[in-house]
Chains A and B, each alone.
Chain A
Amino acid sequence: MTALAAGLPGLRLVTHLLVTAGVASLLVAKLIGPVGALVVGFAVLLSWWHEGARRRGAVSPRLEWALVGVAAVAICLDLVYLTSSPLDAMVHLLLFLMLVRLFRCRRRRDLRDVGFLSFFLLIAASSATFSIGFLVLFVAFLVLGTWMLMLHHIAGEAERSGAIAAPTLAVGPGLLRSALFRVSLGAALATFVISGALFFVIPRVGQAMLPFRAQLGRMVTGFSDRVELGAFGEIETDKTVVMRVYFPQETLEPTELPNLRWRGIVFDRFDGRTWAVGRPDRVLVRRGAPGDFQVAAPRGHGPVVRHEIFLDPVGTDIVFAAPRLLRLELPAGVVTIDDMGSVSVPLGNARQHYVADSELELPSGLDPVSRPAGRRLSPSDRARFLELPPLSPRIPQLAQQVTAGSRDPYEAALRLTQHLSTKYSYTLALKRETTLEPLEEFLFVRRSGNCEYFAAALAVMLRTLDVPTRVVSGFQRGEWNPYGRYFMVRLSDAHAWVEAYFEGIGWVTLDPSPRMEASMAAGPSALALYLDAARMRWYRYVINWSLHDQLVVAQRVRHAGDPRLGLAWLRDWRPPTWLLGAVGLIAAPLAGWWLRRLVRGGPVRGRPVARLPRFYARALRALARRGLAPEPAETARQFCARAATAAPGCGEPLARLTTQYERARFGAATLSPAELAELERCVSLLEQRRP
């Protein structure tokens, strides 16, 4: 009779749960879809039933082999023709092997193999996901895996020794109430703690950034080199958080920072329907000696803020950061910067984590005199940013009409911005109503649109007024998460705005869209914010934990100066005298107790005494001072009788000591506290009675 037939339902149950966790990890990693997960889950359930049916003889072995054969052919076809990546092929193969093992499970070792295959599923999932759901499955796997390994071990040992009933002895009645289950839970907890410690300590010497299969984000419309008007409308309803911006320095309150938005790609060419990157002058910048990229020099105006950005894959290689980007810390060897300030890195499909220093712009309503002067535009650049497609004459007329009476281009730009943001409304319903050009329809018919329409309208009208402009695509600020001190930026925060060039001032950000006010209405719940903060920490301290972080923490621990670690007070702390005294009072008895334990033969409460007990040794020393010592061949009782004759006063205490000595040393008796106190009294009597 096999171990399974002998009945190891606990081991089977744990193994099936482990398989479920493995399949769930594949689902989290999107290596299989919900339908695939359901099919596999059904197969796992079927295997449970199948085990019972097979034992009843209801399943023919030929049928089993036929099914295995069909599945093998299917998996071969899948490996050769269907799978899109080696990882998918490996996952399908693993699932096939696991299910075959489950259905053909004859021995205990088969269950163990199934458990190991489940672990490989987890490994496969780890290379394709960053989700915090992985942590949940990791913990589940840890608990179930520890339990399975213990049950497997106990069952195996019992099988080896031929004692079929041994698992019951070890496990006891009730699987969950058994002592072994408690041990396994404790072991799982300890393993989790040790794993955490090891995870943070193991040096991150690897340099590669790409996972085995990069998690491809959707190709988000609006962040490619060409963007059609209205394309943002598709993503502005998507509430998925794609970017988190953490502010490590707490000198400034991030919510009060001016003009905070996340600049991405910049477009200079407009053909009437599409904005595109026309003639970019791109340069490759290599990482500097300190390990960062110097993007621009500071102008000395506006606050400089450092922010840490966690960007999920959105199908673009653009680096998003607060304008104006000065410096970038990024785990890449080279970045590309074009002449419009767009920064890109050739890791667009991977999740990105980088630190940026930006010099924030002053609010656009500020007096232009106080604005810093920028680099002068060359004639070719000026022509480039003034280029216009064939337009309806109504558009320049509208621009002239709105800006009539303006003292300078800057004031004209502010008037146009004001006009658009107040006279037009923001909407995501971008249905075309006429056959007019999109911009003309927006300005004169629909009078509502999304941020792209507003930005395009402002940029085009300013160009008709001979003001160079460009359209910037990025994200607006997002929602502040007070639990993690970061901005949550969703896909729906995708935004477009305008940068206009003014002589003597430079490039100025203008945002005509009234969207900010529209989107301020509903915020996420406190629970959602808290969960997202947990997710942020997962990204920050697990997914993106790096050698740099390890060095920083090591340095901070060494200097005990990290306020987040709460150890800063250690640097200058001097313990008061009374505290030292109290610690000494507590530590001295403890040290004495330990020393007493270390001294061999010392009677420790609750433990049998094997060697010469200390109380008897003390009694012998006291009697030796009186000239009484046991003879080499004299027993304790003989010595007691002789000593009682020679020193009558010592007879009674020595008789008690001798009795307890014999109990403790030869009877392995445990002396109670009362008995020890009595012995102490007897020893004191012997020590006091000096001749």
Chain B
Amino acid sequence: MRPRRTIWPTRDGWWCLFVVTALGVAAINTGNNLLYLLVSLLLSLIIMSGILSEQSMRGLRLRELVPEDLHAGQPALFGTTITNRKRWLTSYSVTVQMLSPRATPPFIYVSRLAAGADRLVTWQETFPRRGRHRLAGVRVTTRFPFGFFVKAGRPLLRPEVIVFPRVTPVGPDALRELDALGTATTRRRGRGAHLYNLRGYRAGDDPRLIHWRSTAKTQALMVRETEAETTEDTRLVLVGAGRDPQALEAGLAHAASLATHLVRLGAGVELAGPGVAIGVGRGPAHLRRVLTALALYDPGVPQAVTAILPLEETGRMPLREIRVGLG
């Protein structure tokens, strides 16, 4: 079982222990009580060091702040709120140490945290690969009060996170391909060309949108609302066995980038491939589902083969298809 606290002397602490030992030997050798007094002083400092450092660390609570979207190769900002839950006593000189070697900065120093106060500390970390990861966590340490010993608590904040594939801006070729596949309108307000609704004029409305015919009929200012334009709903089909890891990662990153681009344009996206079947959907929640599937995609694990029905058989036209090769 992992101990609640670990203590280790610093360089100054080793010196202190050495001096205590040497003075103790000298005191025994000479029988000089003043040397015993100095030995007692150093021992007391060590004891007080333990008491004060424990007091500094006791009652500290950490609450994690993990970003919702993590993408491989892209830096993400992590944070923790450190709260001093002691009723009266201030915590001094506490360091939040990040256990991940990729975290910058590797530690954050909190010089003083009053009773009941909290403080947000943040750091940046980049995950090189997609998939399911457990955060290395953080550890609260202190050298307070004399810098003789480092007292450290258990590693905290180790939740499991899913790192999505790297998302990059969609390239010009892919954009041209998407445009060639056409756009569609959606039944929601936007800045398209098709009429969505007529409504009464409200202060701030663009005067060019006033629908004069209706205004004349109703004797009240009426304005036009137009439908938003969007890309057509798209099915992303993962193709290939994914034997080449680089090609696999590149393909998944491309698929994730396309899905992100399309969803941001308001299109519905469906994901299909070996062992993957995410139905068509829109919005950030659906995008997360797609990205999660891409993040956890593992061609090495035997998957149930998902039948990819031809578009004509789905009966959910219009739905266009983009095939993404996984190598």
Give the B-binding residues of A (Cβ under 8 A).
Answer: 112, 116, 122-123, 126-127, 129-130, 134, 138, 142, 146, 149-150, 152-154, 156-158, 160-161, 163, 166-167, 169-170, 179-180, 183-184, 187, 190-192, 194-196, 198-199, 202, 204-212, 542-545, 606-608
Contacts and interface: CB of A to CB of B under 8 A. Distances in A.
A606 B87 CA distance: 8
Contacts of A543: 33-34
B146 interface: yes
Nearest to B37: A199
Interface string B82-107: 00010100101101000000000101
10 contacts: A127-B34, A146-B145, A150-B145, A161-B108, A166-B109, A166-B111, A191-B44, A198-B43, A208-B29, A542-B33
A134 B34 contact: yes
Given A126-B37, A129-B34, A195-B43, 17 more contacts: A127-B30, A138-B37, A142-B41, A149-B45, A152-B147, A153-B144, A157-B111, A158-B109, A161-B95, A161-B108, A166-B109, A167-B111, A183-B52, A183-B145, A194-B48, A195-B37, A198-B39
Contacts of A196: 40
Given A160-B109, A170-B112, A206-B28, A544 B33 contact: yes
A166 B105 CA distance: 16
A166 B28 CA distance: 43
B111 A202 contact: no
A158 B33 contact: no
Determine which residue in B15, B29, B48, B111 has the highest number of CB atoms from chain A within 10 A of its CB, and name it.
B111
Nearest to A154: B93
A139 to B, nearest CB: 10
A153 B145 contact: yes
A194 B47 contact: yes
B51 interface: yes
B38 A123 contact: yes
Interface of B: 12, 15, 23, 26-41, 43-45, 47-48, 51-52, 85, 87, 90, 92-93, 95, 105, 107-109, 111-112, 143-147
Contacts of B27: 206
A211 B48 contact: no
B41 A138 contact: yes
B147 A156 contact: yes
Given A187-B145, A194-B47, A195-B40, A157 B109 contact: yes
B44 A183 contact: no
A126 B40 contact: no
A129 B34 CA distance: 9
Contacts of B107: 161
B147 A153 contact: yes
Contacts of B39: 198, 202
A557 to B, nearest CB: 19
B51 A190 contact: yes
A453 B122 CA distance: 91
Contacts of B23: 123
A598 B69 CA distance: 40
A206 B29 contact: yes
Nearest to A120: B19
Contacts of A126: 32, 34-35, 37-38
A207 B27 CA distance: 10
Given A183-B92, A194-B47, A208-B30, A123 B111 contact: no
A199 B36 contact: yes
Contacts of A158: 109, 111
Task: Report the 7 A-B pairs with minimum CB-CB distance, sorted nearest first.
Answer: A161-B109, A126-B34, A206-B31, A170-B111, A194-B44, A198-B40, A153-B147
B92 A170 contact: yes
B48 A187 contact: yes
A202 B109 contact: no
Contact of B44 (A157, A195, A205): A195
Contact of B31 (A156, A187, A209): A209
Contacts of B109: 157-158, 160-161, 163, 166
A234 B26 CA distance: 39
A640 B297 CA distance: 45
B139 to A, nearest CB: 15
B290 to A, nearest CB: 29
A211 B29 CA distance: 9
Contacts of A210: 30
A190 B47 CA distance: 10
Contacts of A138: 37, 41
Contacts of A204: 31, 33, 36
A228 to B, nearest CB: 37
A116 B145 CA distance: 16
B41 A191 contact: yes
A170 B56 CA distance: 13
B146 A150 contact: yes
B320 to A, nearest CB: 41
A157 B143 contact: yes
Contacts of A153: 93, 143-147
Nearest to A199: B40
Determine which residue in A116, A153, A208, A606 has the highest number of CB atoms from chain B within 10 A of its CB, and name it.
A153
B31 A212 contact: no
Contacts of A199: 33, 36-37, 40
A673 B249 CA distance: 60
Contacts of B144: 153
Contacts of B143: 153, 157
B29 A542 contact: no
B30 A157 contact: no
Contacts of B30: 127, 206, 208, 210-212
Nearest to A168: B111
A195 B32 contact: no
A216 to B, nearest CB: 16
A122 B31 CA distance: 17
A205 B47 CA distance: 23
Contacts of B51: 190
Nearest to A184: B145
B55 to A, nearest CB: 10
A160 B97 CA distance: 13
B238 to A, nearest CB: 37
B214 to A, nearest CB: 47
B31 A191 contact: no
Contacts of A149: 45, 145-147
A127 B37 contact: no
A212 B32 CA distance: 8
Nearest to A166: B111
A112 to B, nearest CB: 8
Determine which residue in A158, A160, A179, A202 has the highest number of CB atoms from chain B within 10 A of its CB, and name it.
A202
A122 B111 CA distance: 32
A166 B111 CA distance: 6
Contacts of B12: 112
A291 to B, nearest CB: 16
A211 B8 CA distance: 35
Contacts of B33: 199, 204, 542-545
B112 A169 contact: yes
A265 B5 CA distance: 65
